[in-house]
Structure 1
């Protein structure tokens, strides 16, 4: 198990907060651990690369918040990916998290089908498909993947199914996305809460969820009756009082939000994890990719301007190359 950050001495909850942070916390009397994500400029930048319809942007914003919550389990190395594939108007979402805090993401959608929808719920946008959560650990070259059905559920509900079926860890997930309007213009914000019941002496949060990888399975010591005990029931009840607007309110600090939820039992916070948008695309990567194609295949890529144009799906950056440079 990775080293856990030591909590700071007792002090009042901070009244101010910074955007683009993931705040780990623990409610030790209830055997609860969790993470709180508050995203501002990072998620706004990701949602602004393409002219996403508002309902699609909100869906992608939720995916970015969920990836920040789950990916931040990786402390310094490794990669986490959240991906959906389905038959609805939004047929694919992809969000990458590179430790220790680099995020990127995009959504693929059919604009005509989205505009025809009367129902803008996640169920209508996704349709039927699956959600895949993949983790690659650099230190041991391990790769783990968990896949759960996505049959109309929201991303939060799909995450619940994942933790219940693949991890058997009682979990609560809440995600929220909002578009704020200020004199400076419009911008997107997102937030998320992950709460898990991890009893002392029983199951503890492992560094990485194994999903359906070989050797994975239910953690020993976590019985079904434990998941339904008074501690978890109380923890769920407290977390359920959380409102969407609290997750995206820039005037409400993460520490004050956690204090609102768990002050009766006491909550400890750990060192925050900063996150920021970062795309892995580069001229060198694309040149290497183009060199892997045959001259005939590259010839088929040449546009009307006589050059090969490549647009990154994540950040929308268009790069143009001279075909003769690869001969």
Structure 2
């Protein structure tokens, strides 16, 4: 249970954390993510237009919600591929807590979309697919779920994923905000924040979790679709999460515990140990050198400019400089 006025020994989740919770009377479990300095650092490394930063911020928040559920050493990767102005999003979560991300976009198309007022996430994504990949590593098989992007948001695509691939009733809310304040010298400063909340219906009885049948699309016109009625507990849980407003997910004064108390205090909500998230890229000079050694001497020669090979990590923007003669390989 959450005490609205916790004692001095109670540690609040704070920014850049994922807070798991359970609402046992509703057979509901979920997580809340709050992103502050981590998100600001990730977006600050790239000269993204505001609309692209917002979209990538949503993707990072969604990945934190989903990736933090892994109970083993491995990676959770969210990736979009689409024909919209933002053709690619990649967010990489390495357990237990490391995150990195980047976006690929058409600068002219994004500028036009922002000018014309058509820069909402569904507009930027366009048509394509969202892939969610679980990679256990150590030579084990990957698991990948793919859902369509067709003018829908990342929230909607995530709902489709859980309905089709996991068959777990799930609701997710995401929000991103650009905050403006002043630094100690009085200069204006822009900072990015994001948040998200997820709730899932996980009763012990399988009979209570039966999903509605998907419409086969070949029934006679006028036929009422057949499906199981939603459980009252799940109707209540998802209805409460649907009331969450964007500012409640991004306001630094509204912590995860305060939000959960607002939503579920009548039923009682239990929170668990928060998971701290880290802004950390897995690239290194050694890893990049190993990749270069996989190319032929001719290919490395084609990469050489002004006597050196320069490789820039798309995630963290770190630049690595190599002497072509010292890379090794077949040289």
TM over 0.5: yes
| Deviation for aligned residue 1:267 | 0.5
Superposed CA RMSD in Å reads 1.8
Paired with 2:91 and 2:27, the residues of 1 have a C-alpha distance of: 30
Match of 1:188 in 2: 192
Match of 2:133 in 1: 134
| Cα-to-partner distance string for 1:182-215 (whole Å, 9 max, x where unaligned) | 1122111110111111112328xxxxxxxxxxxx
| Cα-to-partner distance string for 1:249-275 (whole Å, 9 max, x where unaligned) | 111121111000111111011111111
| Cα-to-partner distance string for 1:197-238 (whole Å, 9 max, x where unaligned) | 1112328xxxxxxxxxxxxxxxx9635366612111111111
Q: Tell me if the contact between 2:72 and 2:136 (Cα under 8 Å) persists in the aligned partners.
A: no
Q: Tell me if the contact between 1:24 and 1:34 (Cα under 8 Å) persists in the aligned partners.
A: yes
| Deviation for aligned residue 1:75 | 3.3
1:294 matched to 2:266? The reply is no
| Cα-to-partner distance string for 1:13-32 (whole Å, 9 max, x where unaligned) | 65955211000001111111
Match of 2:240 in 1: 238
Match of 1:312 in 2: 313
- Structure 2: 5+ residue stretches without partners: 184-188, 213-226
Which has the higher Rg, Structure 1 or Structure 2?
2
Match of 2:262 in 1: 260
Q: Tell me if the contact between 2:203 and 2:209 (Cα under 8 Å) persists in the aligned partners.
A: no
Instruction: Classify 1:130/1:13 alpha carbon distance in 2 versus 1 (closer, same or farther; 3 Å).
Output: farther
| Deviation for aligned residue 1:95 | 0.2
TM-score under structure 1 normalisation? 0.88
1:70 matched to 2:71? The reply is no
- Structure 1: 5+ residue stretches without partners: 1-8, 204-219
Matches within 5 A, 1:72-221: 72-117=68-113, 118=116, 119-138=118-137, 141-184=140-183, 185-202=189-206
| Cα-to-partner distance string for 1:24-79 (whole Å, 9 max, x where unaligned) | 00111111110000011111111111110000000000000000000001135111
Partner of 1:142, secondary structure, is: coil
Instruction: Classify 1:198/1:244 alpha carbon distance in 2 versus 1 (closer, same or farther; 3 Å).
Output: same
Match of 2:31 in 1: 35
Moved more, 87-96 or 183-192: 183-192
TM-score under structure 2 normalisation? 0.87
Q: Tell me if the contact between 1:302 and 1:323 (Cα under 8 Å) persists in the aligned partners.
A: yes
Task: Say how many residue pairs are matched.
Answer: 302
| Deviation for aligned residue 1:287 | 0.5
